[in-house]
Amino acid sequence: MDAEPFEALGLPPTFDLDPAQVDRAYLARAAALHPDLAGEGDEVLARSAALNRAREVMKDPEKRAEALLRKMGGPDKSQDKSLPDGFLMEMMEIRESIEAATAGRDPEQRARWSRWAGERRQGHIERVASMFRAAGPSPSDGAMREIRRELNAWRYAERLIEQLDPEYDPARTDFA
């Protein structure tokens, strides 16, 4: 199993990370693994691959939130599938509206719903950031469950964004 991504990059366990901070940490660690310094071999390749995966996690806000919640001992998405009250019904209605609006393959309708989903994503990012800040370094079980619930809802927005992409192919999409 890979090292925990915050530790792999030497970053503080916080949701509020500046992308430039992630890049600097990655470059410093990657430089140390350069073949001229670290040599070659399977171990160096494995460490480089783990570092690349850690950077991928830290650069993606949703993956970073998942990693932080896991590090804090919060519930995994497979352990807690809860959603905010009324959320599932709202998403079903929105999905119907999206399907009706995009059935004619109107690019303007697709763009309108894509903007809506992007705004929804931004709202989730802001709420999760606020929740992590309020929870502090040792959050209560209740705070972690609330963060999990928001992350579960955020995943719905991400799925809508994926499905609104004109190149979307459900046979090739990773739903994990």
Write a three-state SS string for the chain.
CCCCHHHHHCCCCCCCCCHHHHHHHHHHHHHHCCHHHHCCCHHHHHHHHHHHHHHHHHHCHHHHHHHHHHHCCCCCCCCCCCCCCCHHHHHHHHHHHHHHHHCCCCHHHHHHHHHHHHHHHHHHHHHHHHHHHHHCCCCCHHHHHHHHHHHHHHHHHHHHHHHHCCCCCCCCCCCC
- Reading the chain (176 residues) residue by residue, the pLDDT tens digits are 456 999 999 999 999 999 999 999 999 998 887 665 555 767 778 888 889 999 999 999 999 999 999 999 999 999 999 999 999 999 999 988 888 877 777 888 888 998 999 999 999 999 999 999 999 999 999 999 999 999 999 999 898 888 887 777 666 654 44
**pTM to 2 decimals?**
0.85
